[in-house]
Amino acid sequence: AQRVTQPEKLLSVFKGAPVELKCNYSYSGSPELFWYVQYSRQRLQLLLRHISRESIKGFTADLNKGETSFHLKKPFAQEEDSAMYYCALSTGGFKTIFGAGTRLFVKA
């Protein structure tokens, strides 16, 4: 069965500290992985996708097929990064499932 696991419900870091939001997936095929973000009072929106291998707002994520992980990282957290982050897995045919989400709180 396909599954996305985000083990941390809440992650609290100080401004300027590194941050890593963990995501593990379970899927027998070739996965398409994403990170979505929901800022306060805003729509859920795409942050980045693994296929693009891009850095958005200083965030990066590397797909590790051996560990079935897609952790989201940023070397220096900013207060504006405080939001809800969801890891998502697309299993083809556009069906996309999400993890439970991690709330990131960046303290001043």
Partner 1 sequence: NAGVTQTPKFQVLKTGQSMTLQCAQDMNHEYMSWYRQDPGMGLRLIHYSVGAGITDQGEVPNGYNVSRSTTEDFPLRLLSAAPSQTSVYFCASATSGVAGELFFGEGSRLTVL
Closest to partner 1 by CB, 52 or 78: 52
Q: Please report, for residues 27, 80, 94, 96, 102, the alpha-carbon distance to residue 38 in angstroms, rounded to integers and kept in the order given.
A: 25, 12, 21, 17, 10
Whether 13 and 77 have beta carbons less than 8 Å apart is answered as yes
80 φ/ψ sector (left φ>0, alpha ψ -120 to 50, else beta): alpha
Contact positions with partner 1 (CB under 8 A) in 20-49: 32, 34, 36, 43-46, 49
Q: Which of 6, 21, 23, 104 binds partner 1 (CB under 8 A)?
A: 6
Closest to partner 1 by CB, 15 or 24: 24
State the minimum distance, in angstroms, from the CB of residue 12 to partner 1: 17
Whether 47 and 102 have beta carbons less than 8 Å apart is answered as no
For partner 1, the binding residues (CB under 8 A) are 6, 9, 32, 34, 36, 43-46, 49, 51-52, 86, 88, 90, 93-101
